[in-house]
Amino acid sequence: MKENLSEEEMRQALFGTTNDKAVTEAPDLRITSDQQHVSKARRAPISRSPKLRVTLRVMAEFEGEAETFVHESSTLSSLIAEQQAKAEAKKRKFKYFELVSIESV
């Protein structure tokens, strides 16, 4: 190996061969109005929050006529969802509750 390398030989050893003629101008990347993308109108976003559907059998009087009461709660806790459903049923003047099911929606 040579001890005294010229500057050009050092550049070639470090960076490889270079072709000064290979340097070209970058193509024009500007977007003209006929190339612009026009997006379609988007639909309204659907609520993606988790929900639980609580079904209760409710009665206004003891051993009276039972009705099915359905309440949707936006929480993952089944206990909180059940409490919210019972509170909503109390607002509608029901006194007696029986839990039928809690389902994820």
Domain ranges for the chain: 52-104
Looking at residue 68, the DSSP 8-state letter turns out to be E
Residue 82 tokens read as 């059940």
pLDDT in tens, 19-60: 655 555 666 666 666 555 666 777 766 667 789 999 999 999
Distance in angstroms (rounded) separating the CA atoms of residues 63 and 58: 10
Q: What is the pLDDT of residue 2?
A: 66
Q: What is the pLDDT of residue 38?
A: 62
Query: Which of 57, 75, 79, 77 has its CA nearest to residue 67?
Result: 57
Q: The pTM is what?
A: 0.54
Q: Are 94 and 58 in contact (CB under 8 A)?
A: yes
pLDDT in tens, 65-83: 999 999 999 998 999 999 9
Residue 13 tokens read as 């050893």
Amino acid at 30: R
